[in-house]
Structure 1
Amino acid sequence: MDVLLWIIASVLAVAFLAAGAFKLSQPKAKLAAAGMGWTEDYSARTIKLIAGLEVLAALGLVLPPALDIAPVLAPLAAIGLVLVMAGAAVVHARRKESQLLVVNVVLLALAAFVAWGRLGPYSF
């Protein structure tokens, strides 16, 4: 089970690191043109804040336990991603973007699984 948790945490970390880095590196108009229509509803500062949270959570999923420095940060990062994905799911539900809503729910479930595993029976 520990290996499965590492795999899921690593996949989540790569996905959120890439998504966050993309949002941090591109202007709001380019994000909207790239298919992220939800960005039109938020300020550039809010988009950068969300992106920063995604990058920090991605790093928090793998670096603390890998370096054996405050490994409790990994499940806390997973809980942070659960909250981010819950917010994203609400936004996409309101915008009636069902395909993105499914992606949000899957990522939320994976992050919740990592949080459960690392806080519960398979903690570091």
Structure 2
Amino acid sequence: MNIAYWIVAGLLALFYGYAGTLKMIHSPDQLRPMMAWVDRLPMPALRALGTIEILGAAGLIVPPLTGTAPALAPAAAIGFVLLQAGAIAVHLTGEDRRIALNVGLATTAAVTVWLATSL
């Protein structure tokens, strides 16, 4: 289970670290080709979302790695499940109805919660 956690959590952390960094450093014009919903959020909310994603990615990796506050890992994974639930709602209420990636990320985060509880 430990190896499975590191594989799944590592991939999830890489994705969210990358996505969060993009939201932190790029303008809405640069993000629009990748994220059609970007115009529906004010810039401070977009930056906050990027910060949450980066912190969540760190929360999946750093606590289990250091042994300090390991309960933060499942909390970060639960946060990603909730984040994707919100993302699915944003996609379904807008013009962009593509939610396959969001469903996949929510499922992966849910698996990470399960694996993190068995560490």
The two structures have a TM-score, normalised by structure 1, of 0.89
**Count of residue pairs the alignment pairs up:** 119
Aligned-partner Cα distance in 2 for 1:96–1:89: 12
**Number of the residue aligned with 1:63:** 62
Mapping of residues 110-121 of structure 1, within 5 Å: 110-119=108-117
**Number of the residue aligned with 1:51:** 50
Mapping of residues 1-124 of structure 1, within 5 Å: 1-32=1-32, 34-99=33-98, 101-119=99-117, 122-123=118-119
Alpha-carbon shift at residue 97 of structure 1 (Å): 3.0
Query: Matched residue of 1:76: which SS?
Result: helix
Aligned-partner residue type, residue 44 of structure 2: R
CA RMSD of aligned residues (A): 1.3
Aligned-partner Cα distance in 2 for 1:43–1:6: 34
Q: Which has the higher contact order (CA 8 A, sep 6+)?
A: 2
- Whether the 8 Å CA contact 2:37–2:96 is kept in 1: the answer is no
In the alignment, structure 1 segments of 5+ residues that lack a partner are none
Identity in percent: 34
Alpha-carbon shift at residue 29 of structure 1 (Å): 2.4
Q: Once the two structures are superposed, what CA deviation does each residue of 1:85-116 show, in whole Å capped at 9, x if it has no partner?
A: 111111112225343x0100110011011112
In the alignment, structure 2 segments of 5+ residues that lack a partner are none
